[in-house]
Amino acid sequence: MSRVITSADQITFNRSDLQPMPVPGKVMMVKPTFFDVEYVINPHMKNQVGRVDTMQAENEWEHLRDGYKELGYSVQIVDGVEGYPDMVFSANQSLPYIAPDGGKEVVMSVMNSSQRKGEVPYIEEFYKQEGYTIHHANLTGDESFEGMGDALWHFKRGLLWGAYGFRSSLKVYEQISDLFDVPVIALELQSDTFYHLDTCLCILNEDTALIYSDAFNAEGLELIHAVFDTVIEATSYEAETLFAVNAVCPDGKNVLIQQGCTDVNQKLRDAGFYVHEYSTYEFIKSGGSVFCLKMLLW
Ligand code: ARG
């Protein structure tokens, strides 16, 4: 029976009773060889067509890749494909899962825009080679699902945070809840500037989240505050212009984040996190930053 939670009064679990999930040890990234802004499918891309410094983008991407290596992650690289300038955002084409028995599964995305739909089979091929069991969401017409752009695992727990409204359909979360037998907390996004959940919710560890609160409605904020003891808030400047919330904390301690998020970084340090800053300015032109440029795997 699917368990999709849309209001705080429906939360019946204790966090500590939820199925444990291991922390990821691997990162998958797609080479930025063909990265560019060639079309506009989110507000950040407006006026950026043809304005990417591709050499600079490669440098930024390489620094980020090396950052994961320095933190001890094994990094698997998938080649970019000509004609798919957004494929580099490897958080978007899938949602992987590890079962309690260690079995690895993945739900492939159904991208919202026609320009990105063709990226998915290439990423599916990667998962086949990795021995994953592959699932496809059962969606029709204009329904879509954009993987870990919109669906985030709670730190170390079989609990999914799933957003809908712009790139993903609410319906998919019932299917994912059934498939993996996990509860899903569904949040309706409110602003196209924050079109993916990973632009406005960053799960830092089991009880701490970084959010941009204006991206959510009252029910969403209530859900977030019901589950996390500590909620750090980003300012609108850092969330919108610097993609501060599109950070990643893969181990519950180290946060990889876009350079210059002074206010958020101070709050993160005060809460005991280690901050590692990266420049992702070229990717921000396309509406993505640190979080979107990788997929964490087990
Ligand atoms: N240009 C891409 C798009 O709009 C950016 C994706 C960024 N990814 C993310 N997870 N926020 O689809």
The domain spans of the chain are 23-297
Distance 287 CA to ligand 1 centre (A): 5
Our measurement of the distance from residue 99's CA atom to the centroid of its chain's CA atoms, rounded to an integer in Å, reads 20
Q: Which of 48, 81, 50, 119 is nearest to 286 (CA)?
A: 48
Tell me: the pLDDT tens digits for 49-103? Answer: 999 999 999 999 999 999 999 999 999 999 999 999 999 999 999 999 999 999 9
* Count of residues in the chain: 298
Q: What is the pLDDT of residue 231?
A: 98
pTM of the predicted protein model: 0.98
What percent of the chain shows pLDDT beyond 90?
99
Alpha carbon of 3 to ligand 1 centroid (Å) = 28
Averaged confidence pLDDT in the chain:
98
> For 110-136, what is the mean pLDDT?
98
Residue 117 has pLDDT above 90, yes or no: yes
The answer to whether residue 272 scores a pLDDT higher than 90 is: yes
Average pLDDT of the residues in 167-177: 98
Alpha helix positions (H), the chain: 54-70, 114-117, 120-129, 171-180, 218-227, 236-240, 262-270, 281-284
According to the model, what pLDDT value does residue 134 have? Answer: 98
Catalytic residue among 44, 154, 196, 276: 196
Active site residue 292: yes
Q: Which amino acid is at 287?
A: G
Give the residue from 97, 96, 71, 126 showing the smallest Cα distance to 252.
Answer: 71
Among candidate residues 254, 241, 262, 258, the one with its CA nearest the CA of residue 296 = 254
183-198: average pLDDT: 98
The CATH number of the domain covering residues in 23-297 = 3.75.10.10
Assign 2 a pLDDT band (cuts: 50, 70, 90): confident
Give the percent of the chain with pLDDT over 70: 100
Cα 126 → chain centroid: 18
Q: Which phi and psi (to 5°) does residue 218 adopt?
A: -60, -40
Is the pLDDT at 214 greater than 90? The verdict is yes
DSSP tag of 20? B
DSSP state of 110: B
CA distance 129 to 89: 20
Stretch (H or E) spanning 163: strand 160-164
User: How close are the terminal C-alpha atoms of the chain, in Å?
Assistant: 27
> Does residue 145 sit in helix, strand or coil?
strand
Which pLDDT tens digit goes with each residue over 226-260?
Answer: 999 999 999 999 999 999 999 999 999 999 999 99
The verdict on the CB of residue 89 being under 6 Å from ligand 1 is yes
145 C-alpha to center of ligand 1: Å?
A: 13
Q: How far is the CA of 94 from the centre of ligand 1 (A)?
A: 13
Best of 64, 144, 240, 286 for a ligand 1 pocket test (most atoms within 8 Å of beta carbon): 286
| Res 1: pLDDT | 78
Residue whose entry in the numeric block shows the structure tokens 């980003």 = 234
* Phi, psi torsion values for 5, nearest 5 degrees: -105, 125
**What is the biggest distance separating any 2 CA atoms in the chain, rounded to whole angstroms?**
50
At 186 the three-state DSSP class reads: strand
292 lines ligand 1 (CB under 6 A): yes
Q: What is the dihedral of CA 152, 242, 193, 121, to 10 degrees?
A: -50
Residue 224 has what pLDDT?
98
What are the tokens at 6? 């849309």
Q: Are 145 and 139 in contact (CB under 8 A)?
A: yes
